[in-house]
């Protein structure tokens, strides 16, 4: 259900690693009168932010609480392992979990990957955040498996990363409270889905809908003699030749004349 409201601003939450820049720019170009406020939120708090009304919509990582939130999956991220540049595996272009089985792996409490079982050798204590885990890797204490965007976000010049082919992947989605699907939420949905400003789901085409209906009615209001001829299957020359309509079937009269 879409709720119509006159908002002068739109609050967009986003979790670490997600870059909303391209969508923000489209919003500014398309709705310059509506201020877009960005609300950064920790990965584990995205659902709570939306549920508690802290943002109108959010770019979050799945899963979300589908009992109260709607979500549109946007893209799946490559999973990588963050390693020191001088590590023995730094020259390997791609890795598997089996190749990391004997490595000490950091698993922060805000891990965004859904593991069935934590891989690698466990650390004595789990770091609180991904940023803390990156600090440990930079200090030479273990490795870290994360979505690629987080590896880029916490980049260090002494660190690099390599894809892990068989690791779980993180999926980013646009989410919002299902009962608060406002016109502005619909606008942002259109932007992330690549709809143009003239899309039928946007605000711009609304004034033009009556024009389209008027054109349709104008077409329907064409002279009756033009519309029935296609349905009745009459040859064009019969429909246009008024002089043959006087006596009986024109087709029949033609046959009698030839006989």
14, 58 in Cβ contact below 8 A? yes
Non-local CB neighbours of 50 within 8 Å, separated by 6+ positions: 13, 57, 58, 60, 64, 69, 175, 176, 177
List, for residues 43-84, the tens digit of each pLDDT value: 889 999 999 999 999 999 999 988 999 999 999 999 999 999
Higher pLDDT, 113 or 214: 113
Q: Residue 246: pLDDT above 70?
A: no
Q: Cis omega before residue 63 (within 30°)? A: yes
Confidence (pTM): 0.73
> pLDDT at position 239, please?
44
Is 71 within 8 Å of 185 (Cβ atoms)? Answer: no
Q: Per DSSP, what are the bridge partners of residue 13?
A: 39, 58
Joined together, the tokens standing for residue 100 give: 């990391």
Cα–Cα distance for residue pair 160/249, rounded to 1 Å: 88
Q: What is the pLDDT of residues 187-237, one digit of tens each?
A: 999 999 998 877 645 454 444 445 555 555 555 555 545 555 544 445 544
Ordered structural domains, the chain, with CATH: 2-76+171-206 (3.40.190.10), 79-163 (3.40.190.10)
Task: Give pLDDT, residue 160.
Answer: 98
């Amino acid at each position: 259900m879409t709720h119509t409201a006159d908002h002068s601003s739109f609050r967009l939450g986003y979790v670490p690693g997600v870059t909303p820049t391209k969508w923000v720019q489209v919003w500014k170009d398309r709705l310059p009168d509506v201020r877009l406020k960005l609300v950064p939120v920790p990965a584990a708090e995205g659902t709570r932010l939306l549920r508690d009304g802290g943002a109108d919509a959010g770019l979050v990582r799945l899963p979300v609480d589908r009992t109260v939130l709607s979500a549109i999956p946007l893209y799946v991220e490559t999973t990588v392992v963050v390693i020191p540049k001088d590590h023995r595996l730094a020259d390997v272009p791609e890795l598997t979990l089996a190749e990391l089985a004997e490595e000490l792996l950091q698993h922060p409490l805000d891990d965004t990957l859904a593991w069935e079982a934590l891989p690698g050798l466990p650390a004595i204590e789990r770091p609180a955040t991904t940023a803390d885990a990156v600090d440990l890797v930079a200090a030479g204490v273990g490795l870290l498996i994360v979505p690629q965007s987080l590896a880029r976000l916490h980049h260090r010049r002494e660190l690099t990363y390599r894809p892990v082919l068989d690791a779980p992947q993180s999926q980013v989605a646009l989410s919002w409270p299902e009962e608060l699907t406002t016109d502005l939420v619909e606008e942002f949905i259109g932007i992330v889905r690549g709809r143009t400003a003239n899309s039928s789901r946007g605000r711009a085409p609304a004034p033009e809908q009556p024009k389209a209906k008027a054109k349709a009615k104008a077409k329907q209001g064409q002279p009756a003699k033009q519309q029935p001829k296609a349905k009745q299957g009459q040859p064009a020359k019969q429909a246009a030749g008024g002089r043959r309509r006087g006596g009986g079937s024109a087709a029949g009269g033609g046959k009698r004349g030839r006989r």
